[in-house]
Homo-oligomer: A and B are copies of this chain.
Amino acid sequence: MALPSSIVVREVGARDGLQAEAPITVEQRLELIDALLVAGVTHIEVAAFVSPKAVPAMADAEIVVAGLGCPEGVVRAALVPNRRGAEMALAAGVDELTVTISASAVYNERNVRMTIDDSIDSIAATCALAADVAVPVDAVVSCAFGSPYEGDIVPEFVSLLAARLREVGCAAITLADTTGMCTPRRLDAVLAVTGTDIGLHLHETRGTGLVNAYAGLLAGVTRFDTSVGGLGGSPFAAGAAGNLATEELVALCDDLGIATGIGIDALIEAALLAEQLLGHAVPSRVAHAGPRSRRA
Residues of A participating in the B interface, judged by any CB pair closer than 8 Å: 1, 146, 148-149, 151, 180-181, 183-186, 204-208, 210-211, 213-215, 238-241, 245, 248, 251-252, 255-257, 281, 284-286, 288-290, 292-296
Residues A148 and B255 in contact, CB atoms below 8 Å apart = no
Are A288's CB and B239's CB within 8 A?
Answer: yes
In the docked arrangement, what's the CA distance between A151 and B292, Å? 8
The prevalent SS among residues of A at the interface is loop
Nearest Cβ on chain B to A7's Cβ, whole angstroms: 15
| Minimum distance in angstroms from A183 CB to a CB of chain B | 4
Q: Once the chains are docked, how many angstroms separate the CA of A248 from the CA of B183? A: 11
Evaluate contact between B181 and A292: CB separation under 8 angstroms.
yes
Check if B289 sits within 8 Å of A241, measured CB to CB: yes
Other A-B contacts than A207-B248, A210-B211, A241-B285, 16 sampled, CB-CB below 8 A, are A151-B293, A180-B292, A181-B292, A183-B292, A184-B256, A205-B285, A205-B289, A206-B289, A207-B245, A210-B210, A211-B252, A214-B214, A238-B288, A239-B288, A239-B289, A240-B289
Q: How far is the CB of A221 from chain B (nearest CB, A)?
A: 15
User: What 5 pairs between A and B have smallest CB-CB spacing?
Assistant: A207-B285, A148-B296, A183-B255, A239-B288, A211-B211
A208 B252 Cβ-Cβ under 8 A: yes
- Chain B residue nearest in CB terms to A215: B214
A59 to chain B, nearest CB (A): 29
**Interchain CB contact under 8 A, B285 and A206:** yes
Q: Could you write out 7 A-B pairs with CB less than 8 Å apart? A: A180-B289, A205-B285, A207-B210, A207-B284, A208-B248, A211-B252, A214-B215
Q: How far is the CA of A63 from the CA of B292 in the complex (A)?
A: 40
Measured CB to CB, the closest approach of chain B to A293, in angstroms, equals 7
| Beta-carbon nearest neighbor of A291 in chain B | B206
A252 neighbours in B (Cβ, 8 Å): 183-184, 208, 211
Q: Bound state CA distance, A288 and B239, in angstroms?
A: 5
Q: How far is the CA of A184 from the CA of B210 in the complex (A)?
A: 11
Residues of B within 8 A of A184 (CB): 214, 252, 255-256
Docked Cα-Cα span, A284 to B285, in Å, equals 13
A280 to B205, CA, bound (A): 19
Query: A149 near B296 (CB under 8 angstroms)?
Result: yes
Cα A149 to Cα B295 in complex, Å, equals 6
Most buried by B among A151, A207, A248, A255: A207
| B210 lies within 8 A of A208 (CB) | yes
Q: Which of A1, A149, A289 has the most CB of B within 10 A?
A: A289
